[in-house]
Amino acid sequence: MAMQKSDGGNGFLPGKPLLDETNVRLLDLLDADPRATAAELARRIGMSAPAVRERLSRLEETGVIRGYRLDVDPAAIGLPVAAWVRVRPGPGQLGRIADLAARIPQVSECHRISGEDCFLIKVHVAAIEDLEPVLDQFLQYGQTHSSFVVATPVAPRTPAGR
């Protein structure tokens, strides 16, 4: 329970880089197949399975790996229409938007952003007209600007630097 060195609480220690060559390779392999077994990963990088498990555990504990996500097709669960909604809160309503977004099940993500519109929110509905009641809720606290998702040329992926 004791705090270790002064790592800023994020586990980033200078000198011993958490992301050495091996861990980068591990992340690449896991990114390509998040369900790959530790034994499989171990084979591909020429290490023992326990060693790989140990590294994965550390990557998870330190927050490099935030988690694993299930990618469900929204259309398959009855929500074929997606829209991005920008919300500009009225005076004093800023705090309500995020709370509201979190409570609406059709919202799949919500970002606080810089600029005139303070929030960027992704909404999934069964049909276009079903967006109305969702927008109405946000309109209690501000103005909205909606754009339907027509296609997704680049589906969510892990970014790479450089």
Bridge partners, 30 (sequence order)? none
Quote the distance between the C-alpha of residue 80 and its chain's center. 20
Instruction: Provide, rounded to whole angstroms, the least separation between the CB of residue 155 and its own copies.
Output: 6
Q: Which partner in its own copies, DNA, none is near 96 (CB below 5 to 8 A by kind)? A: none
**Quick one: CA dihedral 20, 25, 28, 32, positive or negative?**
negative
Length of the chain: 162
Verify binding: residue 15, its own copies, rule CB under 8 A.
no
3-state secondary structure of 92: coil
Verify binding: residue 154, its own copies, rule CB under 8 A.
yes
Verify binding: residue 16, its own copies, rule CB under 8 A.
no
Instruction: Provide, rounded to whole angstroms, the least separation between the CB of residue 1 and its own copies.
Output: 5
d(CA 127, CA 69) in angstroms, rounded, equals: 26
Verify binding: residue 75, its own copies, rule CB under 8 A.
yes
Distances (CA, A) of 18 to 14, 138, 160: 9, 42, 17
Which residue lies nearer to DNA by CB, 56 or 125?
A: 56
Instruction: Provide, rounded to whole angstroms, the least separation between the CB of residue 3 and its own copies.
Output: 8
Q: Contacting its own copies (CB under 8 A), which of 48, 102, 136, 140?
A: 102
Q: Which two tokens stand for residue 40?
A: 């499989």
Instruction: Provide, rounded to whole angstroms, the least separation between the CB of residue 11 and its own copies.
Output: 9
Verify binding: residue 144, its own copies, rule CB under 8 A.
no
Q: How many CA atoms lie within 13 A of 89 on its CB side?
A: 18
Q: Which partner in DNA, its own copies, none is near 153 (CB below 5 to 8 A by kind)? A: its own copies
